[in-house]
Amino acid sequence: MNAKKIASNHKVEVRIAVVNVAKELSFDSPLTSEEIRQALTTALSTQTPLVLSDSRGGQVIVPADKIGYIEIGEQAERRVGFGTL
């Protein structure tokens, strides 16, 4: 496999809880975990909206004062087949 192809398929799963909203936002982002942390830190320190891109080219915008928590996780590869683990 080509290294560029691996990097372009890299996705990070992001879940954001918004204050006073029962359901959390969940999406895959092409950004790295560190890029997401930096964007969050900047948004919280300057009280500007957090703007993240999703893997389909859209944007997720959340006001900084409405962020409850953010969960950042690496996307696990899906296994196919019936073999034992």
The answer as to whether 43 is a domain residue is yes
pLDDT digits 0-9 by tens, 41-62: 999 999 999 999 999 999 999 9
- Check residue 47 and give its pLDDT: 97
- Full residue range of the structural domain in which residue 62 is found: 3-74
**Within a 13 Å sphere around the CA of 70, how many CA atoms are in the beta-carbon half?**
26
CATH for 58: 2.30.30
The answer as to whether 81 is a domain residue is no
pLDDT digits 0-9 by tens, 8-24: 567 899 999 999 999 99
Judged against a pLDDT cut of 50, whether residue 2 lies above it is answered with: no
Q: What percent of the chain has pLDDT over 70?
A: 76
What lies within 8 Å, CB to CB, of 68 at 6+ separation is 16, 17, 18, 19
Judged against a pLDDT cut of 50, whether residue 3 lies above it is answered with: no
Of all helices (H) and strands (E), which one includes residue 13?
A: strand 12-18
The answer as to whether 79 is a domain residue is no
Q: How many domains does the chain have?
A: 1
